[in-house]
Amino acid sequence: MAETADFPGLSSSVSGLREWGDRLRRSSEFIVIPVLALFVSGILFSVFLLALGKSPADFFSLVWRGGFGTSFSWQNTLVRSAPLILTALCVAIPARLGLVIIGGEGALVLGGFGAAAIAIPMVPWAPTPVLLGVMALASIVCGGIWIGLVGALRHYRGVNETISSLLLFYIAVSILNFFVEGALRDPSDPNKPSTMPIGRDNMIGMIPGTDVHWGLVVGIVLCVLLYLLMNRTTFGFAARITGGNLRAAQAQGLPVGRLMLVSCAIAGACAGLAGFLEVAAIHGKANASLIAGYGFTGILVSFLARHNPLVIVPVAVFLGGIAASGGLVQRRMDLPDATVLVLQGLIFLVILVSETFYGRLPFYRSKGEIS
Amino acid sequence: MNDEAGLATVLLAMFAGAIRVSTPFLFVSLGETLTEKSGRINLGLEGTLVFGAMSGYAISYHTGSPWFGVLVAGLGGTVFGAIHGYLCKLPRVNDIAIGIALMLFGTGIAFFFGKAYIQPQAPRLPSISFGFWAENPSVRQALEINPLFLIGLFLAIFLWWGLKNTRWGLVVRTTGDSAPAALALGIDVDRVRLLSTMAGGFFAGVGGSFLSLYYPGSWTEGLSSGQGLMAVALVIFARWNPLYCFAAALLFGAAGALGPALQSIGISRGYHFFNAAPYIMTLLIMIASVSPKRSLKGAPGELSITK
């Protein structure tokens, strides 16, 4: 500032420019640090592979080919991203209130089961749109209640939401198994206990010209809507205040309990919807295939996206691609299917550690500020 | 008559189950108690438990010595604890989130290396027969007690005594109750927490090796299914008291044995719900034992989940 003080006009335009540059510099931090973190986890994973005598170059080129290389692999990736987007929303929305919910898988399982169960008596007579609408509604209600329960327990009883949501995941799996292997089992399917299929004609179709079902569109639309809800409405503002400082929010008279409940219910509804899509677009019935780990990968997606609904979409595609390439990597490199889990866990750790570098890298350290 | 015999069988099976199933709960909850007493929560013990189960089994298979497997499982757990303890001291790194990441990472690593050990049979831990006086073979079987259970019992007593009466116990408790106070006393807060988390990881690893080397007694991917996390919930229920941890672990063991016990006398209806009993019980216990209005007795003041 001192060197431009003699020229008032120049000073203002320079400072305006500098302010703009400064803002750009600051916001680029939110891209640079995660990308660096991904890079570091790639290096760490390469070391892991080298220690096992496998070639990292082979691995990454196979991930590229299996996830993003061909139009076929792109479709596979996008099909996997749809549930990831929705389960990531299940983590991201409560995270804005400072709640760490890791049981999205439970809401997905229960949502999928609810949808398949309500479809059984309706399949013979209901026209497809009615059937799918009721199924979607059932999954939203099941998932919403399931995670809403987590929020209620947290607010009214002070039960830690992380632990209770994971316990509810195991309970949801038991509920699914109980009905699928018992009262609602399809007797005509001897191989795998499942509910009655909803019928091929009733299933959700593909986006024209692709093999990707409409779930992806649902996920993207929900991301945009929830972004607007969390960033452009009073509700979202109050939620973010609650996440920033619970006591301050209470002192302001914000309805903290209702905010928690509603956010958790929305979150659960998203994950439940993911279950509906898995049933109505992929499996055609509810069975143990619903427990595919989307809920757990969704946690990573949300953290990687820093709980921003709009960023969730590309991150979900990225991690969906890694997951989609798992089979190819497994076959070509003779690595177990848990390889993807190791890579995901590593990315998760490095991303969390990268939090500590915000505002501390030399380029981003603001002058005159004590860090 | 038949009903009474059935009831007796179920009760005996639950008693036997309490002793047999409780050991992993006991070790993980003791480890978590120590970690939480120092002011941090490690949710990654679920991953540590699974990794301990896998590594203990693998080492026992390769060396033929199950006790060596237990040791290596513990050391593996120590490494996970060290990672957690080290990363959490960095500013703005959240201990709960790191725990979740380590849970996923630990299970991933365990599944990755564990694929090769699903088939082979490893030597298992021996047990000590306390039932030599009994006529009834099922009583005798119930009193086949694993040495690790007894070690866990002594460990619980030792930790209970040590946390109250020794210098390091005081240091750990001070660190957990108020980091500024500990700092003022010249205690290296990060180091105390690192060591407590490492010790906690060691115990959890040992608990995991019990799963694969004694009961159920082989390595499968669904071996733990949340026991590590239930043990963390159990610590809250036990009010951070090692002796209560022991009692709570027995209770959890009994609940876990309910499903198989009922199945053994031919009641298989609702089998899945009885299998869910430990989870439902954990949830109910958490609902009953915590309150948003008051802080819990014995809760470390620095702990993020009770603040």
Give the angle subtended at the CA of A297 by the CAs of A78 and B29, to the nearest 5°.
170
Angle between helices B2-37 and B147-165 (to 10 degrees): 40
CA distances from A6 to A17, B9, B73 (A): 18, 95, 70
Which residues sit opposite A287 in a β-bridge?
Answer: A194
Pair (A151, A284) in one structural domain? yes
Q: Strands of chain B (E only): list them.
A: 128-129, 144-145
Interval A339-349 mean pLDDT: 94
Q: Which residues of chain A lie closer than 8 angstroms to B115, CB-CB?
A: 336, 338
CA distances from A292 to A64, A87, A280, A282 (A): 22, 12, 16, 12
A250 contacts chain B (CB < 8 A):
no
Nearest to B170, CA basis, from B198, B192, B195, B202:
B192
Token output for A42 = 């790639």
Alpha carbon distance A145, A269 (integer Å): 8
Tell me whether residues B272 and A181 touch, CB distance under 8 A.
Answer: yes
**pLDDT per residue as tens digits for the range B23-56:** 999 999 999 999 999 999 999 999 999 999 999 9
Q: Which residues of chain B lie closer than 8 angstroms to A178, CB-CB?
A: 270-273
**Does residue A147 lie within any of the structural domains?**
yes
At residue A7, does pLDDT exceed 70?
A: no
Interval A226-230 mean pLDDT: 96
Judged by average pLDDT, the poorest of B14-18, B167-171, B189-193, B219-223 is: B14-18
Contact B152, B246 (CB under 8 A): yes
At residue A12, does pLDDT exceed 80?
A: no
Pair (A138, A280) in one structural domain? yes
At residue B288, does pLDDT exceed 70?
A: yes
Pair (A110, A149) in one structural domain? yes
| DSSP of B23-57 | HHHHHHHHHHHHHHHTT---TTHHHHHHHHHHHHH
Interval A310-323 mean pLDDT: 95
Closest in B93, B109, B225 to A355, CB measured:
B93
Nearest to A333, CA basis, from A76, A50, A68, A80:
A50
Closest in A162, A177, A344 to B104, CB measured:
A344
Token output for B249 = 């672990």
Nearest to B25, CA basis, from B284, B242, B280, B297:
B242
Helix H, strand E, coil C: the string for B159-181 is HHHHHHHCHHHHHHHHHHHCHHH
CATH number at residue A198: 1.10.3470
Chain A: residue whose CA lies nearest to B281: A167
B298: left (phi over 0), alpha (psi -120 to 50) or beta: left
**A153 band by pLDDT with thresholds 50, 70 and 90:** very high
CA distances from A340 to A138, A290, A329 (A): 32, 18, 9
B186 contacts chain A (CB < 8 A):
no
The number of residues making up chain A comes to: 371
CA distances from B121 to B56, B77, B147, B157 (A): 12, 23, 21, 34
What is the number of structural domains in chain A? Answer: 2
**pLDDT per residue as tens digits for the range A38-51:** 999 999 999 999 99
Predicted local confidence at residue A367, as pLDDT: 54
Token output for B236 = 């809250």
A164 contacts chain B (CB < 8 A):
yes
Domains of chain B by range and CATH? 2-125+136-289 (1.10.3470)
Alpha carbon distance B221, B201 (integer Å): 20
Tell me whether residues A177 and B272 touch, CB distance under 8 A.
Answer: yes
**Does residue A20 lie within any of the structural domains?**
no
**Does residue A16 lie within any of the structural domains?**
no
Predicted local confidence at residue B294, as pLDDT: 65
**A370 band by pLDDT with thresholds 50, 70 and 90:** very low
**Does residue A61 lie within any of the structural domains?**
no
Q: Which residues of chain A lie closer than 8 angstroms to B101, CB-CB?
A: 345, 348-349, 352
| DSSP of A57-104 | HHHHHHHHIIIIISHHHHHHHHHHHHHHHHHHHHHHHHHTTT-----H
A371 contacts chain B (CB < 8 A):
no
- Contact map slice: B 229-288 vs A, CB within 8 A: 229-230, 232-233, 236, 270-273, 275-276, 279-280, 282-283, 286-287
**Does residue A210 lie within any of the structural domains?**
yes
Task: Provide the mean pLDDT of chain A.
Answer: 90
Tell me whether residues B98 and A156 touch, CB distance under 8 A.
Answer: no
B225 contacts chain A (CB < 8 A):
yes
At residue A2, does pLDDT exceed 50?
A: no
Judged by average pLDDT, the poorest of A201-210, B197-206, B289-298 is: B289-298
CA dihedral B133, B21, B31, B113 (to 10 degrees): 120
At residue A236, does pLDDT exceed 50?
A: yes
Pair (A298, A349) in one structural domain? no
B184 contacts chain A (CB < 8 A):
no
The nearest CA of chain A is from the CA of B92 a distance in Å of 5
**A21 band by pLDDT with thresholds 50, 70 and 90:** confident
**Does residue A18 lie within any of the structural domains?**
no
At residue A242, does pLDDT exceed 90?
A: yes
Q: Name B16's Cβ contacts closer than 8 Å, sequence gap at least 6.
A: B138, B141, B142, B257
Alpha carbon distance A243, B143 (integer Å): 51
Pair (A344, A315) in one structural domain? no
Which residues sit opposite B145 in a β-bridge?
Answer: B128
**pLDDT per residue as tens digits for the range B88-137:** 999 989 899 999 999 999 999 999 999 999 988 889 898 888 877 877 77
Contact B80, B102 (CB under 8 A): yes
Which one has a higher pLDDT value, A264 or A22? Answer: A264
Chain A: residue whose CA lies nearest to B307: A158
**pLDDT per residue as tens digits for the range A46-85:** 999 999 999 999 999 999 999 999 999 999 999 999 999 9
Contact A344, A91 (CB under 8 A): no
At residue A10, does pLDDT exceed 80?
A: no
Token output for A355 = 């939090």
On the 0-12 / 13-18 / 19+ scale of CB atoms within 10 A, B263 is: middle
- List the end-to-end C-alpha distance of chain B, in Å, as a whole number: 53
Judged by average pLDDT, the poorest of A94-98, A296-300, B225-229 is: B225-229
Nearest to B9, CA basis, from B136, B129, B103:
B136
Which residue is listed with tokens 């949340």? B226
- Cβ-based contacts under 8 A for chains A and B: 135
Task: Provide the mean pLDDT of chain B.
Answer: 89
Judged by average pLDDT, the poorest of A169-183, B74-88, B100-114, B138-152 is: B138-152
At residue A196, does pLDDT exceed 60?
A: yes
CA distances from B30 to A147, A275, B211, B218 (A): 30, 37, 16, 24
CA distances from A47 to A41, A61, A343, B220 (A): 10, 16, 12, 27
Chain A: residue whose CA lies nearest to B237: A159
* Cis peptide bond N-terminal to B216, omega within 30: yes
Pair (A282, A359) in one structural domain? no
At residue A208, does pLDDT exceed 80?
A: yes
Nearest to A84, CA basis, from A283, A301, A289, A286:
A301
Pair (A219, A355) in one structural domain? no
Tell me what percent of the residues of chain B surpass a pLDDT of 70. Answer: 96
Tell me whether residues A162 and B100 touch, CB distance under 8 A.
Answer: yes
Chain A: residue whose CA lies nearest to B231: A163
At residue B75, does pLDDT exceed 60?
A: yes
Angle between helices B2-37 and B189-213 (to 10 degrees): 150
Tell me whether residues A162 and B287 touch, CB distance under 8 A.
Answer: no
At residue B198, does pLDDT exceed 90?
A: yes
Structural domain that includes position A206: 71-334
| DSSP of A215-277 | HHHHHHHHHHHHHHHHHHSHHHHHHHHHHH-HHHHHHTT--HHHHHHHHHHHHHHHHHHHHHH
B65: left (phi over 0), alpha (psi -120 to 50) or beta: beta
Predicted local confidence at residue A229, as pLDDT: 96
Tell me whether residues B226 and A356 touch, CB distance under 8 A.
Answer: no
The number of residues making up chain B comes to: 307
Predicted local confidence at residue B131, as pLDDT: 79
Nearest to A193, CA basis, from A168, A171, A173:
A173
Pair (A298, A347) in one structural domain? no
Token output for B140 = 């005798």
At residue B291, does pLDDT exceed 90?
A: no
Pair (A352, A238) in one structural domain? no
A60 contacts chain B (CB < 8 A):
no
Q: Which residues of chain B lie closer than 8 angstroms to A339, CB-CB?
A: 112
Predicted local confidence at residue A3, as pLDDT: 46
Alpha carbon distance B275, A175 (integer Å): 10
CA A324 to chain centre: 16
Predicted local confidence at residue B2, as pLDDT: 62
**A5 band by pLDDT with thresholds 50, 70 and 90:** very low
Pair (A230, A355) in one structural domain? no
Pair (A227, A349) in one structural domain? no
**Does residue A13 lie within any of the structural domains?**
no
Alpha carbon distance B96, A91 (integer Å): 14
Predicted local confidence at residue B1, as pLDDT: 44
**Does residue A60 lie within any of the structural domains?**
no
Tell me whether residues A341 and B112 touch, CB distance under 8 A.
Answer: yes
Predicted local confidence at residue A14, as pLDDT: 74
Pair (A153, A47) in one structural domain? no
A327 contacts chain B (CB < 8 A):
no
Number of Cβ within 10 Å of residue B184's Cβ equals 10
